[in-house]
Amino acid sequence: MSTPLDTDFARDLVRGLKNHPRRLFPRYLYDDVGSALFEVITLLPEYLITRSETQLLRSSSAEIAAQLPSGCAVCELGGGRGAKAKFLLSGLAKRDRQVKYFPVDVSRWALDETVIGMEGIDDVVTTPICDTYLDGLVQVEERIDKRPLVVLFLGSNLGNFDLPQRDEFIARVSACLKTGDALLLGVDMVKPKALLHEAYDDPIGATAAFNKNILARINREFEANFDPRAYGHTAVWNENESRMELGLVSHRAQRVVIPCLGLDLDFEQGERIVTEYSYKFNPSDIDEVAKKGGFSVQGTWTHAEGRFSESLLIKTGVKTR
């Protein structure tokens, strides 16, 4: 059965596959299969992001929680199974006795896993919302009855946005918040090239399977004829742009047809589809993000080896350029 043609996914497919270079957008990597594959990636020794952030939140969550307003609700955008949020939620539950937690994710599998994972934490009431980041955040605002809100955007998910999209996204998050509400932003820091390549092109091929899964998803939902075996996974560090660039390279000349979208695409041998940009950050980047979005940086916590940081941004409503 085809997905309706008026969805964001359909529109983005047409726009991205007609682009040069061709693009597929990272939000669509995370169907249920993609989300499960990504959980495997987070367990790999080469993938430092999740392990570094988990270590940082384990050691700093009490200090972060102490700076959050009493009685706050917590909304996590795209948190997967919510494993990292548990550190902060446990501290808040001890202080506030009951915490309302709203995980927002496009994967129902991830949300089901989150609900199961939160069952062991007393006084955390979990309300999953299966939606996109911003639409889910609007739903949360409608449910919390003017109480303070803390938004968690962890895992360096901000790094998947191009720079103009990053500014727009933060501005739209800010527009959903009241003055004094908070955004906890976790970002991956710039690190040696060799470590980045190991993280995004692991030896067992988990990242390659995760990347190729989007082709299988398009086949399933739009009755396309991509052959995932005819594409290779690539991961390249672009130092000038401070980002890892993930893509799929066609092993041979081939034609891909997506009839319901009116797409008839000829791929040359060696032609690349960009699937994801993963930007890496310097401390000054966070200051710029905060100012443009109408936030002030209340505190920053950095991994002992400088691999990852968490920044607590408080909405002021004053934007600068």
Count CB atoms within 10 A of the CB of residue 266.
10
Q: Are residues 112 and 187 in the same domain?
A: yes
Of 314, 321, 319, 284, nearest to 297 by C-alpha is 314
pLDDT given at position 321? 56
Residue 249 lies in a domain: yes
SS3 52: helix
295: which strand partners? 315
Residue 36 lies in a domain: no
Q: What is the pLDDT of residues 48-67, one digit of tens each?
A: 888 999 999 999 999 999 99
Count CB atoms within 10 A of the CB of residue 139.
15
**Domain ranges, residue 68:** 48-191+283-315
Q: Are residues 289 and 272 in the same domain?
A: no
Domain at 310, CATH number: 3.40.50.150
Residue 35 lies in a domain: no
Q: Are residues 238 and 274 in the same domain?
A: yes
Q: Are residues 101 and 182 in the same domain?
A: yes
Residue 38 lies in a domain: no
Residue 77 lies in a domain: yes
CA angle 154, 105, 159 (to 5 degrees): 35
**Domain count of the fold of the chain:** 2
Residue 184 lies in a domain: yes
Q: Are residues 263 and 308 in the same domain?
A: no
- Which helix (H) or strand (E) segment holds residue 13: the answer is helix 8-17
DSSP string, 132-180: -HHHHHHHHHHHSTT--EEEEE-TTGGGGS-HHHHHHHHHHHHHHS-TT
Q: Which residue has the tokens 């200090």?
A: 63
Residue that wins the pLDDT comparison between 225 and 3:
225
Residue 41 lies in a domain: no
Q: What is the pLDDT of residues 90-109, one digit of tens each?
A: 889 888 878 999 999 988 88
SS3 314: strand
Q: What is the pLDDT of residues 187-196, one digit of tens each?
A: 999 999 999 9
What is the Cα 129 distance to its own chain's centre?
Answer: 16
Q: Are residues 86 and 153 in the same domain?
A: yes
Q: Are residues 235 and 103 in the same domain?
A: no
Q: What is the pLDDT of residues 121-173, one digit of tens each?
A: 888 999 999 998 999 999 999 999 889 999 999 999 999 998 899 999 999 99
Q: Are residues 56 and 148 in the same domain?
A: yes
**232: pLDDT strictly greater than 90:** yes
DSSP string, 199-210: HHS-TT-HHHHH
Q: What is the pLDDT of residues 217-226, one digit of tens each?
A: 999 999 999 9
Of 16, 45, 33, nearest to 204 by C-alpha is 45
Q: Among 2-6, 42-46, 259-263, which is the least confidently predicted range?
A: 2-6
* Cβ atoms of residues 163 and 157 within 8 Å: no
Q: Are residues 289 and 270 in the same domain?
A: no
pLDDT given at position 1? 41
Q: Are residues 65 and 134 in the same domain?
A: yes
Residue 167 lies in a domain: yes
Q: Are residues 231 and 107 in the same domain?
A: no
Q: Are residues 69 and 177 in the same domain?
A: yes
At 242, list the tokens: 């401070």
Separation CA 217–CA 223 (nearest Å): 9
